[in-house]
Amino acid sequence: MSLEIFDQLNPDSLLEGLNPQQQEAVKYRGRSLLIVAGAGSGKTRVLSHRIAHLLAKKEIYPSQILAITFTNKAAAEMRVRVEGLIGQAGQGMWLKTFHSACLQILRREAERLGHDSNFSVYDTGDTRALLKRLLREAGAEDADIKPAQAAAIISNAKNELKDAEDFARNADRSNPRERIVAEVFQAYTSELRRNNAFDFDDLIGEVVGLFQAFPELRARYQKRFRHVLVDEYQDTNHAQYALIREFTRPLPEEHAIFDDRTGEQLGPADLTVVGDSDQSIYAFRGADIRNITEFERDFPGAKTILLEQNYRSTQNILSAANAVISQNPYRPAKNLWTDAGAGDKITIFTAYDERNEAAFVVDRIKSMHSEGVNYRDIAVLYRTNSLTPSLEAELKSQLMPYAVIGGLKFFERREIKDALAYLSAVSNGRDDEAVRRVINIPSRGIGQKTELKIAQFARQNELSFRQALLMASELQLGPKLTASVMAFGELLNELEAMTVTDGPAEVLKLALSKSGYRSELEMSRDPQDEARVENLDALLGQLFEWQATNPEGTVADYLAEVTLAAAADEIEDESGSVSLMTLHTAKGLEYQAVFLIGLEQGTLPHIRAFDEPGGLQEERRLMYVGMTRARQHLFISHALQRTVFGNTSGFTTSMFLNDIPQELVDSEGQERSIATTREPTKWAGAINTPSAVRDNKDLELAVGDRISHESFGEGGVVSVSGNPPRQTAEVRFLSGVTKRLLVKMAPITKL
């Protein structure tokens, strides 16, 4: 391509409408540049204008630009913006995600790694299916290692650029789990090679390995890409960081590269990274905040430019967010500001319980919508999905359209559908689909062939599938399998008999316990299974609440209500839907009005954060990200009590709320005795609300232990579940009250 194509472009016009700091970032020329872009400061605009400015000044060809993002959406947005500035002249640039850029390189260079260029790329499902077989062949049953767990361990290793040999070398051979994972990792690597395949994590790691093993190849790509730009640099893991270093580190003399036009020796590619350490919230995915905080050390002579002017939020929102994040140590000084005016104060609502909180949120949404705010401009953000049941129920009851972003709606989640299938199987003995859904959940050794045999027998004898279970002795399945099938049928009969004397909540609680479903999830080390336990607890809590207000209600009544409520999901509104999502999902988005719910100790900050290095700092960054999603209205709520697993417990207000200056806040709720759509719950008089942060550190309780509670007095432990730091204890107090407590954070002393 000839550079004359850019003759009609005016580089100075690309600076119009930019503030001084943005202009400096666009014009800067040097080996390495860090743009610290605060929330809402226009980082995508700056990146796009910088690329366009480089081209308009005829400093490089479009094909010499490599711009890397984390999502296809971000890459597409940047391309649209650049082409909007310079037209089709920008064609030929690589605007790609990390993985798509590396895939393209591997397609060209695969033979160097012993692969054909038509290699397959295994997704998560492919990986887990292969690992499932390899674990079975390795005899992993005794070590209780699930494919998802093995996949996570191998993925983490690859993101640290450790291969199977590295992992095996450092594995503790006396630990059965580590030994088996090491063996399976090696077998997995061999299978990938035999199948001419890479997995998702290989794409980056193998390119890094190629560049390190073949300096002449690295030289070729360094000559190709003369300017590398990286978005969201604070989210990079070690492998991604290493890839950037390979593109930009000096070449050995024997592989020096020269400019085709001038004949001059070329140095490494120029590097521009954009990010914000205050928005680094993906440590659980391997992101290393040091990549951005130590950028100037890694790239000596680097220029740093701060973008502090915010174009999204009002000053009150920014001041509150600044106050929260300023409590984090070891962060570069940065203070977001705007010329958009002070705006409304932040509303902090103190709810009696989760129902009161949901009623407040929905009432405010209804009020804003009546004043002309579109539903699509409103979002409700939360730390964990387990906070949504009461909110979703309230939205449905008000026929208000909503969408769960980045995940399934509560009643569409696998574990919730499984739990409701147990209830359906008990309530309606002819519901074959419900029975078949949970016949092997948790695993009972009943496979598809056995299920098909039962179904055929039922049809031949005009029986329901459930009736056929108790006649398994006639199917010639073998003693062990026959016993398993009949035991499942007897469990369903037992649960059905229970419905005569007990409510739906007790039936479901026993079903989850006696089936082994709950214990299987609790024993899993998969973080997703931990979330599933929380969701089941949330379902039980909601069901106990429903039962309290419907004392005569049956299992069938509850299921019918859930089904009818789901009809609200089909409602369409020209103004869109209210968005519900986790704080992690919300990053990069913005809304006119934002509700942050569940601001309690143990939720935000999450209970795990107290035991993880840097955990509290990342939780505070998560809070900061949530607050800065709001343009005009920010509402924050916390509940004094929540019902978990059928038990109501008091909660302490999140420590992060203490960081927000009072002059920026309008407080509402119990403390102001404002009118709400709900009456105080019956537990309102027995709520523990200490102001200090409670941490009982390594305290662990056992059945029979005596404790003293600040509000309820002395009591004895009657049951415990889980292990620290998530251990809960059911305590019967001398007053006759029974409470389930989170041992780590409850205001208790062991006697």
Q: Provide the annotated active-site residues.
A: 43-44, 231-232, 279, 629
With CA atoms as reference, report the closest residue to 575 among 589, 594, 563, 592. 592
What is the residue-wise DSSP string for 147-177? HHHHHHHHHHHHHTT--HHHHHHHS-TTSHH
Q: What is the CA radius of gyration of the chain?
A: 29
Pairing of strands 728-733, 713-721: antiparallel
3 state SS of 728:
strand
Contact predicate 394/359, CB 8 Å: yes
CA-CA distance, 555 to 499, in Å (whole number)?
8
What is the residue-wise DSSP string for 508-546? HHHHHHHTSHHHHHHH---HHHHHHHHHHHHHHHHHHHH
Residue ranges of the alpha helices (H) in 275-388? Answer: 290-293, 295-298, 315-325, 354-370
With CA atoms as reference, report the closest residue to 537 among 562, 503, 505. 505
Residue ranges of the alpha helices (H) in 202-287? Answer: 202-213, 215-224, 238-248
Q: What is the dihedral of CA 134, 138, 144, 149, to 10 degrees?
A: -30
Q: Assign residue 713 a region: left if phi > 0, alpha if psi is -120 to 50, beta otherwise?
A: left
Three-state SS for 586-653 is: HCCCCEEEEEECCCECEECCEHHHHHCCCHHHHHHHHHHHHHCCEEEEEEEEEECEEEECCEEEECCE
Cβ contacts of 111 within 8 Å, gap of 6 or more: 117
Contact predicate 629/589, CB 8 Å: yes
Q: Which two three-digit tokens encode residue 319? A: 């001041």
Q: Which two three-digit tokens encode residue 701? A: 């309780």
C-alpha distances in Å from residue 533, one per residue of 165, 256, 277, 506, 557: 35, 57, 32, 17, 25
CB atoms within 10 A of CB 658: 14
What residues are paired with 94 via a beta bridge?
A: 66
CA-CA distance, 734 to 728, in Å (whole number)?
19
CB atoms within 10 A of CB 487: 12
Q: Which two three-digit tokens encode residue 35? A: 């743009």
CA-CA distance, 79 to 91, in Å (whole number)?
9
Q: Which two three-digit tokens encode residue 452? A: 């098909």
Q: Which two three-digit tokens encode residue 674? A: 């404002």
In the chain, the amino acid numbered 516 is G
Handedness of CA 688, 670, 637, 654 (dihedral sign): negative
With CA atoms as reference, report the closest residue to 52 among 90, 17, 8, 4. 90
Contact predicate 258/95, CB 8 Å: no
CB atoms within 10 A of CB 573: 14
Bond into 442 cis (ω within 30): yes
Q: What is the dihedral of CA 591, 593, 598, 604, to 10 degrees?
A: 50
CA-CA distance, 9 to 60, in Å (whole number)?
14
Cβ contacts of 576 within 8 Å, gap of 6 or more: 374, 375, 376, 401
